[in-house]
Amino acid sequence: MAVASVPHEGQADQLYVETRALRLQGFLLFLVSDLVLFSSFIFAYMYLRNSGQGWPPPGITRPAIALGGLNAAILFGSGATMHYALENFKRGNFIRYAWLLIFTIILGALFLGGQAIEYTTLFREHITWAGSGIFGASFFTLTGMHGFHVLCGIIYLTILLLQSVHGVYDKQRYFGLTAGTLYWHFVDVIWVVLFSIFYLV
């Protein structure tokens, strides 16, 4: 009866390097597909917006730029903490990495809290998904879809933190953390576009 051989450390490291490259490629393709999804909604919104008589439509005011700006600052700050969390993990500073990752998760949760406050305020002003025309449908669809991505990111980062505590990653093997960082930066970049088209332009 043949017994399956267990790869020694050198073989395991080589296998990890090869699969890491494939996983990175797959993850980047996932982000590209997500970018296509967001881009489709954004281009549709911009087309419909520019085909109207004026913007915003009569009877609808823009969302408060102060709250939107605060949310943007919170989310962009979380991008910085996520970046430095990964850098500290690479350098072996686990405690600093863990705290920065926790701060990233907290900032992401604060962003969602700010979004909930904003939605509540808009509902009180009778600006809704179904009752405010192109603006309402586009705003709540795009920002809601983005908020869902932030929520998924928070769950993912929490899983990464728990895995790190249990020793799943080390200084040579940390693809999960790289993927988490790329995903979180992707969420940041999407918010730059959404903040621009809904609050500034």
104-147 residue pLDDT tens? 999 999 999 999 999 999 888 888 877 777 888 889 999 999 99
Q: Cβ neighbours of residue 163 under 8 Å, at least 6 residues apart? A: 169, 176
72-100 residue pLDDT tens? 999 999 999 999 999 999 999 999 999 99
Domain tally, the chain: 1
1-39 residue pLDDT tens? 444 444 445 555 666 676 777 888 999 999 999 999 999
pLDDT at 54 over 70: no
Domain assignment present for residue 9? The answer is: no
CATH number at residue 161: 1.20.120.80
Q: Cβ neighbours of residue 42 under 8 Å, at least 6 residues apart? A: 142, 193, 194, 197
Domain assignment present for residue 4? The answer is: no
pTM of the model: 0.88
